[in-house]
Each structure stands twice: as C-alpha cells, then as structure tokens.
C-alpha cells in the first residue's frame, strides 16, 4: 500500500499496548523454548545427529518442532511429531533409541508442547492419518490413561474404559458430572470453566439418552474428558474424579 494503515492508529489505541504485546510474545517464545528441552538453540550438545523418522539434520529442524530430553547425561532430540507418534498407543512411552521409559517430567513437558502447538493449529503428527474407530478409541483412552498415570495413579489400561457398555458409560458420566457439580460449587460465576465442564457433561448425558452407538458414546466421552484434562492447569482433581467414578462402577 502507498499509504499503509497502522492497526493501532486506526483503532486509536494507546501506544503502550505495543511494548506490552512484545513482552507477551517474548514470554511465550521463551516458555516454548524451555519446554522444548536442552539444545533447542544449541544443537551441538545433542547426542543423535539425525531425526529418527524424517532423517533431518539436527541443525535443520525448527525450534518449534524440536523436542529433547536428557538420559544418562546424553541429550536425545526428536521432531515432536515423531515422539508423539511413537507414544500414541503406548501406555508407557519410551526413548526409541534406548527403550528406557520417559520420565514423568519429560512426558508432562511433551504434553504441554503439544497443547501449545494445538492452540496454534500445528499438527502433532507428521500426517493427518485416517484411523479406524477402534484405533481412535484406543488412542483417545490411552491419552487419558497416560495423564492419569502422570498424576500418581497406577495400573491403568485403556481397555478398562473401552469395555464399558452403554449403561456403564451412562453411570460413569453421571457420577463424574455429579462430582464436578460439587467441585464447581466453589465458583459462583456462570463463566467459570468448571461450570462449563458440568454443561459439557450434561450434553454428553443427553447423547447417551439419544440412542447413539456405543462406540460413538465412548469416543464423545473420551473427547470431553481429554479436553477438560488439557484445559486444567492442575489436572489431579479431575484424575481423582475419573478414578473414583471408575472404581464405583
């Protein structure tokens, strides 16, 4: 444009908003790089020279696709999409090079990076693969079980949830919603996120009453529960509610 319009001038915004935006972008950038792990900006310390799946050189991968962790004083790095694909059906994610279990800290850090990418509409897998409903269900419930294990619960299996029939799913969701109502009572604002969780679970109960197929009900249940777990800063209370409902069935 010959005479470009500046957004802040057109909207008559205070000039102080520009440095505030810069500070916020800088904070987000530093947080992302910290979550990416050691070597995000200095690849010389990385143990493996090439990416496991794409075979890209360690210095050519974008810091926003990079993820690493330290194991036995060695820094192993991956394209975040490769390590996610390797873990999606695995209840105990491991280092593909050594087969050693990833630490809880590494798993939680990887999940936070994936959530940041998802908010920015970046893929967490190399391709948007089309899976059968059984694989989708298994991946969805495995994801939930991984979060539950990361919060101190053990002996979890996605089969516990995938084997629930229609009646059991309905009772399971109802118990979770009732517990969430009690948890949301601490927040009187109708805009509270906890109140929105209760609303989502209520809509899920309505799906159970609408004669939807059991596989679809299981998928909707897993989708809502994983969304709630991802949305919470501290997912432990929700993990406790899920486990409590499961043991009461």
Q: What are phi and psi of 50, to 5 degrees?
A: -120, 155
- Give the residue-averaged pLDDT of 61-82: 94
Q: Mean pLDDT in the chain? A: 87
**pLDDT band for position 10 (50/70/90)?**
low
- Give the residue-averaged pLDDT of 139-158: 92
End-to-end CA, the chain: 65
- Give the residue-averaged pLDDT of 90-116: 93
Contact present, 48 and 41 (Cβ < 8 Å): no
Q: Is 139 exposed, middle or buried (0-12, 13-18, 19+ CB in 10 A)?
A: middle
**pLDDT band for position 6 (50/70/90)?**
low
Tell me what pLDDT residue 205 has.
77
Q: Given CA atoms 46, 51, 57, 58 in this order, what sign does their dihedral have?
A: negative
- HSE at residue 107, side-chain half, CA atoms within 13 A, is 23
Residues 6+ apart with CB under 8 A from 70: 37, 38, 76
Higher pLDDT, 196 or 9: 196
**pLDDT band for position 7 (50/70/90)?**
low
**pLDDT band for position 185 (50/70/90)?**
confident
- Give the residue-averaged pLDDT of 47-53: 91
Residue 249 has pLDDT above 90, yes or no: no
Residue 57, classed as helix, strand or coil, is strand
Residue 9 has pLDDT above 70, yes or no: no
Domain borders along the chain are: 13-119, 133-248
Q: How far apart are CA 217 and CA 165, in angstroms?
A: 10
Contact present, 8 and 17 (Cβ < 8 Å): yes
User: How many CB atoms are closer than 10 A to CB 206?
Assistant: 9
């Amino acid at each position: 444009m010959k005479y470009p319009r500046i957004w802040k001038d057109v909207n008559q915004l205070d000039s102080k908003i520009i440095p505030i935006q810069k500070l916020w972008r800088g904070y987000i950038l530093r947080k992302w790089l910290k979550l990416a792990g050691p070597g995000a900006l200095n690849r010389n310390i990385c143990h493996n020279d090439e990416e496991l799946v794409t075979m890209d050189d360690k210095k050519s991968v974008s810091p926003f696709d990079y993820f690493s962790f330290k194991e036995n004083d060695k820094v192993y790095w991956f394209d975040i999409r490769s390590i996610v694909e390797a873990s999606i059906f695995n209840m105990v994610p491991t280092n593909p090079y050594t087969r050693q279990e990833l630490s809880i800290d590494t798993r939680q850090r990887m999940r936070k990076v994936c959530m940041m990418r998802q908010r920015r509409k970046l893929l967490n897998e190399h391709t948007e693969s089309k899976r059968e409903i059984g694989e989708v269900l298994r991946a969805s419930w495995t994801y939930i079980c991984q979060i539950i294990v990361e919060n101190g619960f053990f002996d979890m299996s996605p089969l516990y949830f995938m084997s629930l029939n229609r009646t059991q799913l309905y009772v399971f969701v109802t118990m979770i919603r009732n517990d969430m109502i009690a948890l949301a009572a601490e927040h009187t604002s109708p805009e509270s996120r906890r109140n929105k969780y209760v609303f989502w679970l209520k809509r899920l109960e309505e799906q159970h009453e609408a004669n939807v197929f059991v596989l679809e009900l299981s998928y909707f249940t897993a989708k809502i529960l994983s969304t709630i777990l991802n949305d919470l800063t501290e997912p432990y209370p929700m993990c406790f509610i899920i486990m409590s409902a499961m043991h009461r069935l």
